[in-house]
Structure 1
Amino acid sequence: MLEKLPDVVGHALREQRAGIEKTVYRQLDLRAGTAAITLTSLAFADHAPIPALYTADGAGHSPPLAWSGVPVAARSLLLIVEDADAPTPQPLVHAIAVEISPHETGLSEGALKSHDHEGEGVKTGRNSYLGKSWLPPDPPPGHGVHRYVFQIFALAEGEPFSGTPGRDAVVEALRDRALASGCLIGTYERPDTAIKVGKGMTRDAAVGIENMT
């Protein structure tokens, strides 16, 4: 969807980013605790690019994830994925998965429901577009590198989530019940689509930028 935006829009919004400090993982700051969950993916390393297969430029399925170090007191796990560099006041939520069994050690590729893909029945909350599914990375062209923050939390015993919880409901529950957390960051960038002419831009792109400055 955002790949259709003109590059000039991405350039104009380049300095507008939600910020990594606003992600749930940073807000709760469980990193100082004794329990830490290790979160990894076979598809990409920490702070490395996410393959296009898992983005809006590919099939758009959720990537495989694996974790270890879940505390024995955990009664469920929760996953939330946010775009820390979205040009929005708060990070853009790409997926929420709740009530994951504490005995699970990961999610397979495509486990989360996505467009034209049913997933594997994982209970999901609402993404920022109010969908109950995985929202694949889809940064604006020319906006630069986006960091997609995969965050896993272990929860103590408590009331199960009802309906399809959004970010606010998740944060409220985590403040009361979170025991441990883990984080994995993948990046994705959609480059400028404008064709360069010689040492300059295309006429339309140059005029667009001139009009916005």
Structure 2
Amino acid sequence: MTLLGRLLRNRRAGDTHLAWNLPNLQGPELLTLTSRNFDDGAPMPLEHCAKHVRGGDRSPHLAWTGLPPGTAQLLVVVEDVDVPVGKPAVHCAALVDPATGELETGALAGKEPGPGVRVLRSTIGRGYHGPAPVKGHGPHHYVFQLFALAAPVDGAARPDRARPRTLLPTIAAPVLARGRLTGVFER
């Protein structure tokens, strides 16, 4: 796998197609998103990486400040911008009740999400899927994005069943605020 990683080293999805850059998810960058587990731009601990790379596959703690009044729902999207394909891989998508205040470690689990968390489909499955980049491909950046929405994501879109690349562009609720945090992992 190291050879494959080196061969693909210059192929990366980039951030052009991040949820962050979708026209319907634009909004003021008022939220500060942090984690007890890693700082912005710093390496992610193995506990939050995929099991097949000897990780715990547990979503990191996430906390935010700056939530504006009128926030009806939060949207969390985690994407790997360095996958060697055309668009970033969605490692997690979830809807969160703003009253939760923060997400504890493991709260984005597919089978038993934390209180106030509704996990959606991702590129890989349902719930959080930790980093597991191709060995030798170089550092991968995992962008944790948080969007404060003025209305809940429900109705005809059927968010629980939709693929993220289908669902994300159809979210019509105005974004009141947003914030992001990036973790790095390399094999």
TM over 0.5: yes
Aligned mate of 1:128, from 123, 132, 139: 123
Conservation of the 8 A alpha-carbon contact between 2:92 and 2:120? yes
Aligned equivalent of 1:101:
97
Q: Distance in 2 between matches of 1:181 and 1:30?
A: 8
Conservation of the 8 A alpha-carbon contact between 1:124 and 1:164? no
Aligned mate of 1:156, from 131, 135, 150: 150
Aligned equivalent of 1:21:
16
Deviations 1:113-170 (A, max 9, x none): 15xx6332621111112x1111110000000000000000011125526333332212
User: CA distance change for structure 1 residues 137 and 40 in 2, over 3 Å: closer, same or farther?
Assistant: same
Aligned mate of 2:83, from 82, 86, 91: 86
Aligned equivalent of 1:9:
4
Alignment RMSD (CA, Å): 1.8
TM-score (norm. length: structure 2):
0.87
Aligned equivalent of 2:140:
146
1:57-72 equivalent positions in 2, closer than 5 A: 57-72=54-69
Deviations 1:83-131 (A, max 9, x none): 0101111100000001x112222100011115xx6332621111112x1
The structure carrying a bigger strand percent of its residues is 2
Conservation of the 8 A alpha-carbon contact between 1:77 and 1:152? yes
Q: Distance in 1 between matches of 2:149 and 2:79?
A: 19
TM-score (norm. length: structure 1):
0.77
Aligned mate of 2:106, from 103, 106, 110: 110
Q: Distance in 2 between matches of 1:189 and 1:53?
A: 14
SS in 1 for 2:3: helix
Query: Shift of residue 187 of structure 1?
Result: 0.3
Conservation of the 8 A alpha-carbon contact between 2:35 and 2:63? yes
Answering whether residue 168 of structure 2 is matched by residue 170 of structure 1, we say yes
Q: Which runs of 5+ in 1 are unaligned?
A: 1-5, 191-213
Deviations 1:63-87 (A, max 9, x none): 1100011110211101000001011
Q: Distance in 1 between matches of 2:57 and 2:64?
A: 22
Answering whether residue 43 of structure 2 is matched by residue 45 of structure 1, we say no
Q: Which structure has the larger Rg over C-alpha atoms?
A: 1
| Residues paired across the two proteins, number | 178
AA in 1 matched with 2:105: E
Q: Distance in 1 between matches of 2:132 and 2:2?
A: 14
SS in 2 for 1:21: coil
